[in-house]
Structure 1
């Protein structure tokens, strides 16, 4: 498995490892997704503070570049945290960070260890879905703590939330760029416990109008619901499993990287056929980094795909949020009530995501 060419993209391209669906979409429309407990009690992890200990794990791609890990350790220490590395963080098994059992064991041990206050993935890549059946969800539920990452980590974020009710966080991994934008949202959400309002940066530079990080409103309006989502490819590949939360009334947020637009079209179609799009109250597409339209004549654009699949839902929806394989990242809690303003392109938590 080759690392992403852009060092600021913390995870490895979904396309390289998940280029074909693990499940066919045929028959999803008639499947019953009400296997979830409607009374799932949401559990908030304890807010982080300086002096707390963050455990680094590699549930997917291997951390074979030790300097990257050291930079992560130093970055977290600069924020006032202590850092403990998982026993198998440098293991290698092909493109994976060791055997499934060992990667899962690191996570289970981090949750069991009373000295660990939060768990952060070092990388994404591929491999998290393989360890979903190996996690000790009873143990996790009894020892709730912050669990954070993005990209392939989506499988764990959704799996842990769906099986325990523990709020998880779609945010930086260890190898992310720890700049002021990402650090501020990390601290506001996980340390200060703010009912954070997430807004794109405003920066015109030398241009007359803002060119980068613009918001594209698909359908105007304000929507309220629980935030649920993550990487589109990963989500679409665990559909039909018990590790997918209930999307009824939720605000769905998704992101991806290095996917041709026809693949995005295919996966959003899969969400539609699975009945998910008809259940949600709002829609946010973050960044699809390095996802250009196909060079072939007549390719659909992302805007075309939104017009085809999202616009007909007649729910507040926008794209361009700072969620995904980018330097500047929001920290987005999964399972917390929030509202979106699709005209402004903002996400506002209705409550603290931590206790």
Structure 2
């Protein structure tokens, strides 16, 4: 059974951690001001935020300890990841899922955080949020107002419908599909296969996004998902933003559209393309583990609220 975290209120404390790579300090500071001044929240910083261990924000144990500390701290009402990068898969096997299950709260991030979303949700039932990062999204000087507005869904229990009022949507395969939202970054989804945290797409709406991957790399990952049965298992597929996923040598490459046709369209599952979810601007947040309905005729996806009201 899935469990929704409690909504935030102004004055609440949120924990900020870097479970993957270290954030850029300048943009992180801008983002912290956004949390404090625009959202009215207080901030508790993880100890590894200012630590660097190669491409990681500190040793694995330090990053894991920050995650555990924020979930165990009763004053912290949400855990927000500063950035992605690389490294969450290194700590997944050592996460205390019992601790998280006993202390359900908002968990927010995307990109490399996809591995943690899958691991946490499938081991605890906690609804988590695939949402824009602090350092790499809301902390930018030109951050889109709609990106920042995504955070407001954490304060109010409201259903959300994504339509072409937000961005143009393309029907890849006609149909209507309903199920829990699952997915995130394609590279990270693929990296879960064959592990204890392998993504479960059975009867779910699978959403995928990525960045800086050429069509042949997207091809390889989608082929792996296909052979693992993840595309055939899904109820429907949402193709989100694939930022800078163009071939370096166009004359010797399939296009991204051709690759998507070979896998998404040929899967026969209802599918829509064009959602501004992922490494894009604006970047919309969606809860993982809630019910959603996709209707290609209406070019719309209606998503249940990811939070429950405060008592």
Please state which band the TM-score falls in when normalised by the shorter chain: over 0.9
Q: How does 1:293-332 map to 2 (within 5 A)?
A: 293-332=247-286
TM score, norm. by length of structure 2: 0.93
Report which of the two has the higher share of strand: 2
Q: Is the 8 A contact 1:200 1:321 kept in 2?
A: no
- In structure 2, C-alpha distance between the alignment counterparts of 1:200 and 1:258, rounded to whole Å: 25
Displacement after TM superposition at 1:201 (Å): 4.7
- In structure 2, C-alpha distance between the alignment counterparts of 1:295 and 1:247, rounded to whole Å: 33
Confirm whether residue 82 of structure 1 aligns to residue 42 of structure 2.
Answer: yes
Confirm whether residue 244 of structure 1 aligns to residue 198 of structure 2.
Answer: yes
Q: 1:186 to 1:199 in 2, by over 3 A?
A: farther
TM score, norm. by length of structure 1: 0.82
CA deviation profile, 1:78-114 (whole Å, cap 9, x unmatched): 2111111001211111110000000000000000000
1:66 matched to which residue of 2? 25
Question: Which sits farther off after the overlay, 99-108 or 306-315?
Answer: 306-315
Q: Is the 8 A contact 1:221 1:343 kept in 2?
A: yes
| Structure 1: 5+ residue stretches without partners | 1-40, 203-212
Confirm whether residue 151 of structure 1 aligns to residue 115 of structure 2.
Answer: no
Q: How does 1:40-119 map to 2 (within 5 A)?
A: 41-63=1-23, 65-77=24-36, 78-119=38-79
Displacement after TM superposition at 1:345 (Å): 3.8
Report which of the two has the higher share of helix: 2
- In structure 2, C-alpha distance between the alignment counterparts of 1:244 and 1:190, rounded to whole Å: 27
Displacement after TM superposition at 1:303 (Å): 1.6
How big is the alpha-carbon RMSD for the aligned residues of Structure 1 and Structure 2? 1.5
- In structure 2, C-alpha distance between the alignment counterparts of 1:348 and 1:342, rounded to whole Å: 11
Q: 1:294 to 1:179 in 2, by over 3 A?
A: closer
- In structure 2, C-alpha distance between the alignment counterparts of 1:137 and 1:302, rounded to whole Å: 37
Q: How does 1:263-282 map to 2 (within 5 A)?
A: 263-282=217-236
Q: 1:338 to 1:240 in 2, by over 3 A?
A: same
Displacement after TM superposition at 1:324 (Å): 1.0
CA deviation profile, 1:197-247 (whole Å, cap 9, x unmatched): 123555xxxxxxxxxx43221012221011000000011011111213421
| Structure 2: 5+ residue stretches without partners | none
Aligned length: 302
Partner of 1:89: helix, strand, or coil?
Answer: helix
Q: 1:200 to 1:79 in 2, by over 3 A?
A: farther
Partner of 2:47: helix, strand, or coil?
Answer: coil
- In structure 1, C-alpha distance between the alignment counterparts of 2:298 and 2:282, rounded to whole Å: 18
